[in-house]
């Protein structure tokens, strides 16, 4: 997915590239907000953090078992139609 987005001109970074695999979910949202990035996740804990009122730059939540082609198309649609401001404190279900 990451390479597919990059080939389409989307600026993507992974938690592995940032060295953040072992940090708490709230820290992921904090770092993404600092960098102005939307978090793409299949982890429902991020939905709970959103519901708690934690500030974030946006969450794209992907249900388990979603085909990769659907994820890629949906993320490109989000990228093309929603601004950074549109995504602040917003969850988009793919």
User: pLDDT tens, 44-73?
Assistant: 999 999 999 999 999 999 999 999 999 999
Q: Could you tell me the pLDDT band of residue 75, with boundaries at 50, 70 and 90?
A: very high
At residue 8, does pLDDT exceed 90? yes
Instruction: Enter the pTM of the model.
Output: 0.92
Phi-psi region of 37 (alpha: psi -120 to 50; beta: other; left: phi over 0): beta
CA atoms in the 13 A half-sphere facing the CB of 85: 0
Separation in Å, CA 38 to CA 5, 92? 13, 10
pLDDT of 64 reads 92
Provide the pLDDT for residue 1.
87
Beta strand segments in 1-94, E: 39-41, 59-61, 91-93
- Rounded to a whole number of angstroms, the CA Rg of the chain reads 13
Structurally, how many domains does the chain consist of?
1
Residue 6 is part of which domain span? 2-93
């Amino acid at each position: 997915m990451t390479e597919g987005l990059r080939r389409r001109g989307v600026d993507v970074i992974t938690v592995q590239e940032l060295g953040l695999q072992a940090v708490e979910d709230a820290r992921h949202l904090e770092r993404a907000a600092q960098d102005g990035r939307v978090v793409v996740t299949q982890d429902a804990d991020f939905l709970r953090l959103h519901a708690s009122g934690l500030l974030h730059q946006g969450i794209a939540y992907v249900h388990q078992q979603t085909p990769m082609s659907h994820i890629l198309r949906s993320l490109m649609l989000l990228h093309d139609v929603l601004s950074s401001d549109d995504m602040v404190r917003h969850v988009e279900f793919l």
